[in-house]
């Protein structure tokens, strides 16, 4: 809100201090303020301080912070003998949505430009000057925070105002020329025939004050805040009027503003004010009382503020404070109704800066470690250690992402009001986002992209909330080695090395990989990671969808499953007391026979004697396996090792059909 300094100073008998000093005081009192050109304070009004949407409200705040006293100008309305009832009839049909509706009538007005002082004030406050009637309502909206509306009486059918809810299917065209479809929970100001204003939000062109207007009907009301908020939000109409009504205006100022407006309009337009005013109200609003315990204030704040100081602060803010009972003025009724609200008032005017900083005197028993968070960090560390850069991508993807990876959007949780369609589906896989990152980088001449993300995926469930699960996904392309001579190329085996590194770092042994048939993976160059996910070279068709023309390898792993695998504690195994004996076998494997099967067979044949068996060398098509024999109780003799080894070789030949290279 824009507050011209001269307008603000007018609210005080004396107000000392530069605009900058006042801005700083207001900021540290809770209203962020900067000084704009032309000595205008630009104040950010926080949502709970509807009372500050006016020069008067700001003045009250300044008064509390500076201790200068605010003055209230006297009002005198000169009325003629003709009664207001002869000028307008008002009927309020919905007292819940409109608990108070007041009106005055001014005849014989001459519509013209406002005087310069008024125009310049409005302009400084950021409001366009229109004419001497509308400008007065705007002026008082700014000074007192009470929105008012002026109708041309001649255009009001039967001189009758009816305040009611909109009927189903009704439409209204507001001053900005837009037509709105209305719903039955919206409050309308109507005449005998038509809608003349969307109550508290915006008037309609059909009864607008114009150059020919001779008689003005002035409206000043209190509308239900929740209803105004809903209507303004639904119609996408946020006006100076609606923002004040939706926070609740001051019940008493409804009348004060009406009187001031009538006096000012009469003064500026030569108009004659009819006697009296319409006041349709549902009951009375009386100030509430809240009990304040000074010791409670100090207990919450950790201070020792004196009771007299508390009372002083509250009084300057306009509260009636005597003893422990505090009377809440109507202009603060919306945000102050509990002791804690008063404590905040005391704290902010006392000054947060003056409250001593202390450390909590708390002990922390029964702390729970977030072991899964620790685990995810460990995985992150291992991945970075493997040379992968961590990325973070949106949790949302678009139908295009799903399509490019051949995923089914029907299986995704949908965002109802996405900012754009590319952020409308909660991801079911990280891969599409990672491939976008790979493509983004390749398109910028970055040849090697080695990335991973640890993030959540989402899926619909039949419970209240969808499923969320942490996963790890890796995608790599380019040269694995950064050496100038041997760069190598990304392939299944390089990535599998990373996967093995991950498993080894976590202490997971011999995790099973098996054949896979998946549309994301190039056939024959990928595997299922049992119970956890998949690994492989990206299918060329998928690659093409991203315009990537070189091999990409990826793996995706369910981190919650992986976490379960590492839950068994580690146990120490004594080191062997007796030496091992190793024997090698070089052989050619028939097509289709997997390394995994050969090792399993050697282990099976060797039984307890074989401690380990692994592929250790490759020469052209011949694979060399090493078999390690050991007996934990004694040293094995050459004879028994040779005998067992010969048996294994023979069995490999007969059972697996391998050809031994001798």
Partner 1 sequence: MRDKILRIETDALAAINSANDPQSLEAARVKYVGKKSEFMQLLKSLGTLPPEERPKVGALINQVKVKLQKALNEKRMLLLQTEQHQKIEADKIDITLPGKGIRRGKYHPISTVMEEVKDIFLRLGYEIAEGPDIELDYYNFDGLNIPPHHPSRDMWSTLFITDKVLLRTHTSPVQIRVMEKRKPPLAIIAPGRVYRRDSDATHSPVFHQLEGFLVDEVVTFGDLKGTLTEFLRQMFGRKRNVRFRPSFFPFTEPSAEVDVECVMCNGKGCKLCKGTGWLEILGSGMIDPNVLKGVGYNPEKVSGFAFGMGIERIAMLKYGIDNIRLFYENDIRFLEQF
Nearer to partner 1, 281 or 427 (CB): 427
For the record, the structure tokens of 660 come out as 């031994």
Backbone angles phi, psi at 131, to 5 degrees: -155, 175
- In order of 394, 485, 544, the CA distances from 552 in angstroms are 21, 22, 11
In whole angstroms, the minimum distance from the beta carbon of 561 to partner 1 comes to 18
Cα separation, 594 vs 578, whole angstroms:
32
Q: How far is the CB of 74 from partner 1 (least distance, A)?
A: 34
Q: Which is nearer to partner 1, 192 or 340 (CB)?
A: 340
Give min distance, CB of 435 to partner 1, in A. 12
Q: Is 258 helix (H, G, I), strand (E, B) or coil?
A: helix
Residue 196: both structure tokens together? 């003349």
Q: How far apart are CA 417 and CA 413, in angstroms?
A: 12
Which residues does 240 contact at the CB level (< 8 Å), separation at least 6? 127, 138, 141, 147
In three-state secondary structure terms, 363 is coil
Q: To the nearest whole angstrom, how small is the minimum distance from the Cβ of residue 203 to partner 1? A: 22
User: Given the complex with partner 1, which of 136 and 476 has the nearer CB atom?
Assistant: 476
279: phi then psi, degrees, rounded to nearest 5: -145, 95
C-beta closer to partner 1: residue 28 or 205: 28
Q: Please report how close the Cβ of residue 30 comes to partner 1 at its closest, in angstroms.
A: 3
Alpha carbons 179 and 435: distance in angstroms, whole number: 46
**588, 659 Cβ separation under 8 angstroms:** yes
For residues 510 and 503, what is the distance between their CA atoms, to the nearest angstrom? 9
CB of 68 to partner 1, least distance (A): 20
Q: Between residues 79 and 246, which has the closer beta carbon with respect to partner 1? A: 246
Between residues 178 and 371, which has the closer beta carbon with respect to partner 1? Answer: 371
Burial status of residue 198 (CB atoms within 10 A of its CB: 0-12, 13-18, 19 or more): buried
Contact assessment for residue 615 and residue 595, using Cβ atoms and an 8 Å cutoff = yes
**Cβ proximity to partner 1, 45 vs 527, nearer residue:** 45
Instruction: Please report which residue ranges of 221-277 form alpha helices under DSSP H.
Output: 225-234, 240-245, 253-269
Residue 439 CB, shortest distance to partner 1, in Å, is 11
What's the N-to-C CA distance of the chain in angstroms? 93
In the bound complex, what is the minimum distance in angstroms from residue 273's beta carbon to partner 1?
A: 35
* Contact present, 457 and 427 (Cβ < 8 Å): yes
Instruction: Give min distance, CB of 274 to partner 1, in A.
Output: 36
Whose Cβ is closer to partner 1: residue 380's or residue 603's? 380
Quote the least distance from Cβ 436 to partner 1, whole Å: 9
Determine contact, residues 241/134, Cβ cutoff 8 Å: no
Q: Based on CB atoms, which residue is closest to partner 1, 185 or 617?
A: 185
| Nearest in space to 490 (alpha carbons), one of 475, 501, 479, 474 | 479
Is the separation of the CB atoms in 452 and 501 below 8 Å? no
Q: Which is nearer to partner 1, 305 or 599 (CB)?
A: 305
Closest to partner 1 by CB, 271 or 551: 551
CB closer to partner 1, 461 vs 657: 461
Q: Tell me the closest approach of the beta carbon of residue 377 to partner 1, in angstroms.
A: 7
Contacts by residues 73-77 (CB-CB < 8 Å, ≥ 24 positions apart): 75/256, 75/259, 75/260, 75/263, 76/263, 77/259, 77/262, 77/263, 77/266, 77/273
What is the per-residue DSSP string for 538-598?
EPHHHHHHTT--S-EEEEEEEHHHHHHHT-SPP---PPPSS--EEEEEEEEPPTT--HHHH
- Residue closer to partner 1 by CB (options 75, 415) is 415
């Amino acid at each position: 809100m824009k507050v011209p300094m001269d307008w603000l100073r007018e609210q005080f008998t004396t107000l000392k201090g530069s605009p900058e000093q006042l801005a700083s005081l207001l900021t540290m009192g809770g209203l962020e303020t900067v000084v704009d050109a032309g000595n205008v304070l630009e104040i950010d009004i926080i949502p709970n301080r509807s009372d500050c949407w006016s020069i008067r409200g700001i003045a009250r705040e300044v008064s509390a912070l500076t201790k200068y006293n605010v003055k209230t100008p006297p009002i005198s309305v000169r009325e003629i003998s003709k009664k207001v009832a002869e000028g307008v009839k008002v009927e309020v049909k919905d007292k819940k949505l409109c608990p108070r509706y007041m009106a005055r009538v001014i005849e014989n007005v001459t519509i013209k430009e406002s005087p310069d002082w008024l125009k310049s004030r409005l302009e400084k406050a950021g409001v366009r000057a229109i004419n001497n009637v509308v400008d007065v309502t705007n002026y008082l909206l700014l000074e007192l925070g009470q929105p008012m509306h002026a109708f041309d009486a001649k255009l009001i059918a039967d001189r009758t105002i009816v305040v009611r809810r909109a009927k189903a299917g009704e439409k209204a065209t507001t001053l900005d020329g837009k037509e709105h479809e209305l719903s039955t929970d919206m409050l309308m100001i109507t005449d005998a025939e038509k809608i003349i204003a969307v109550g508290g939000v915006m008037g309609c062109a059909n009864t607008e004050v114009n150059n020919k207007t001779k008689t003005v009907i002035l409206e000043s009301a209190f509308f239900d805040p929740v209803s105004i908020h809903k209507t303004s939000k639904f119609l996408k109409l946020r006006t100076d009027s609606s923002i004040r009504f939706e926070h609740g205006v001051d019940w008493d100022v409804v009348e004060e503003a009406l009187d001031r407006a009538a006096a000012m309009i009469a003064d500026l337009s030569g108009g004659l004010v009819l006697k009296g005013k319409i006041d349709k109200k549902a009951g009375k609003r009386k100030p509430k009382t809240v009990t304040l315990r000074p010791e409670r204030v100090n207990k919450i704040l950790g201070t020792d503020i004196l009771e007299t100081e508390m009372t002083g602060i509250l009084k300057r803010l306009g509260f009636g404070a005597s003893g422990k009972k505090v009377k809440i003025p109507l202009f603060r009724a919306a945000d102050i109704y509990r002791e804690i609200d008063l404590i905040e008032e005391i704290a902010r005017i006392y000054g947060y800066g003056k409250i001593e900083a202390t450390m909590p005197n708390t002990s922390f028993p029964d702390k729970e470690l977030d072991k899964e968070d620790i685990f995810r960090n460990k995985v992150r560390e291992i991945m970075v250690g493997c040379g992968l850069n961590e990325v973070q991508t949106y949790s949302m993807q678009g139908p295009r992402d799903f399509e490019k990876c051949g995923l089914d959007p029907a299986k995704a949780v949908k965002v109802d009001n996405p900012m754009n369609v590319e952020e409308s589906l909660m991801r079911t896989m990280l891969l599409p986002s990672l491939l976008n990152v790979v493509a983004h980088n390749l398109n910028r001449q970055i040849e090697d992209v080695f990335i991973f993300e640890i993030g959540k995926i989402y899926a619909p469930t039949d419970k209240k909330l969808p499923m969320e699960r942490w996963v790890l996904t890796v995608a790599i392309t380019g040269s694995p080695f950064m050496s100038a001579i041997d760069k190598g190329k990304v392939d299944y085996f390089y990535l599998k090395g990373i996967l093995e590194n991950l498993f080894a770092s976590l202490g997971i042994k011999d995790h099973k990989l098996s054949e896979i048939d998946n549309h994301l993976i190039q056939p024959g160059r990928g595997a299922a990671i049992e119970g956890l996910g998949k690994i492989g070279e990206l299918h060329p068709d998928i690659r093409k969808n991203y315009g990537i023309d070189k091999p990409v390898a990826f793996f995706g792993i369910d981190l919650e499953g992986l976490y379960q695998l590492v839950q068994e504690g580690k146990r120490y195994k004594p080191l062997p007391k007796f030496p091992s004996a190793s024997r090698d076998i070089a052989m050619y494997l028939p097509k289709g026979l997997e390394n995994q099967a050969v090792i399993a067979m050697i282990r099976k044949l060797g039984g307890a004697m074989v401690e380990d068996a692994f592929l250790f060398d490759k020469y052209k098509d011949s694979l060399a396996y090493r078999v390690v024999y050991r007996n934990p109780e004694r040293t094995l003799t050459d004879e028994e090792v040779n005998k067992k080894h010969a048996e294994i070789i023979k069995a490999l030949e007969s059972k697996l059909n391998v050809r031994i290279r001798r």
